[in-house]
Amino acid sequence: MEFPAIEKRITIEKMARYTGEAGIHTDDKAAQKIGLPGAVVQGGQLVGYLNEMMTYALGQGYLEGGDISVVFVKSAKPGDVLVTRAAVKEQRETGARIMVDCEVWVENQRGEKIAVGNASGLLPESAQK
Amino acid sequence: MSSRWDELVPGAETGSVEFVVTDEMIDEYVGAMEIAHPWFTSANTPYHARIAPPDMICKLAMTPLFQEYIRRELGPNMRARQAFKFFAPIRAGMTVKATGHLTEKYERRGKHFVTLEALFTDEQGNPLVLDKRTQYLPEPAAAA
């Protein structure tokens, strides 16, 4: 089982394409109106990166019974290079399968954590033999 | 915070959606997220069909399910917390449905938060994804 570090280079164009509408994720002025320094990456985009990593690691075991919970602790902005990370906390038996509990996070190019949380999923059957 | 805050009732319905997941939706989402996982780019999957990234339907439904309600009732907001529980893969061609609810509102250190939840199901009512999110409601700086 391997948790690949998924790297994403953030641009305002990519943020706009993901968001699909005008607002604090695309427009500096809209973001500044609510006290942000400028446009910020949408939280769902960050969780999506973590879901991609978890799907690589656990496959069907994540898509059929996996879960994730993330808190957004710092803003990500255009120009950032974000990387997903995971650390296994525990592997526990659940019926005939093994559930993997992980700490997961997204960090920026300075190593600062942007989103932190936990994710779980079933170990692939091939990895349990 | 506007007086609307006091009128918010946990349990209130925030919106509902029903749509068919198409290859075009998956293409656009995978392109926007720069996802390379082969299960999301071809039908060569353990399910013998192309599937969508597990959070895609929640992103596509976010505005009608939650955001129109929050913006109307409370104004600008930002995500503070996001949780998903995945029950089954979402295949291209599948019809998905969800109804959103405001499940909680609370104040912490003088800041207001609301929690919203929606269970996505297929046409037969089988669960696909549970989406639970908490939004922070900043005071507009310009109005302060």
CATH of B3-21+51-142 among 1.20.1290.10, 3.10.129.10, 3.30.830.10, 2.40.50.100: 3.10.129.10
Q: What is the pTM of this model?
A: 0.94
Residue range A66-108, pLDDT digits in tens:
999 999 999 999 999 999 999 999 999 998 899 999 999 999 9
Which percentage of chain A shows pLDDT scores above 90?
A: 82
Residue range B2-56, pLDDT digits in tens:
568 888 999 999 999 999 999 999 999 999 999 999 999 999 999 999 999 999 9
Residues on chain A bordering chain B, Cβ-to-Cβ distance under 8 angstroms = 8, 14, 17-18, 21, 24, 30, 32-35, 40, 42-45, 47-49, 51-52, 55-56, 59-60, 62-72
Tell me what ipTM this predicted complex has: 0.94
Distance CA A37, CA A21 (A): 19
Element (H, E) at B23: helix B23-33
Residues whose CB is less than 8 angstroms from the CB of residue B75 and which lie 6 or more positions away in sequence, other chains included: B2, B137, B140
Residue range A6-19, pLDDT digits in tens:
999 999 999 999 99
Would you list the domain boundaries of chain B?
Answer: 3-21+51-142
